[in-house]
Structure 1
Amino acid sequence: MDEEGITIRLTRDQAFVLSDWLYQVMFQSDDLEGIVHDRAVWSPIYAISGTLDKRLSEIFMPDYGPRLEAAKERLRVNLYGGADESTAAGQDTTDAPQAHQIERGTAGNHSESDQGQ
Structure 2
Amino acid sequence: MGDGQITVTLTADEALVLSDWLERLQMTDLCRAVDDDDPAVWAPIHKISGTLDKSLPGLFAADYHEQLAAARQRLRPES
TM over 0.5: yes
Unaligned runs of 5+ in 1: 83-117
User: 2:30 is matched with which residue?
Assistant: 31
CA-to-aligned-CA distance 1:7-35 (integer Å, 9 cap, x gap): 100100000000001111102x1531x11
CA-to-aligned-CA distance 1:51-109 (integer Å, 9 cap, x gap): 00110011021100100000000000xxx224xxxxxxxxxxxxxxxxxxxxxxxxxxx
Unaligned runs of 5+ in 2: none
Output aligned runs, 1:10-89, within 5 Å: 10-27=10-27, 29-32=28-31, 34-37=32-35, 39=38, 40-76=40-76, 80-82=77-79
Residue aligned with 2:59, SS? helix
Which amino acid in structure 2 is aligned with residue 10 of structure 1?
Answer: L
User: 1:5 is matched with which residue?
Assistant: 5
Q: Which of structure 1's runs of 4+ aligned residues deviate more than 6 A?
A: none
Indicate the percent of aligned positions where both proteins have the same amino acid: 49
Residue aligned with 1:7, SS? coil
Which amino acid in structure 1 is aligned with residue 6 of structure 2?
Answer: I
Q: How big is the alpha-carbon RMSD for the aligned residues of Structure 1 and Structure 2?
A: 1.6
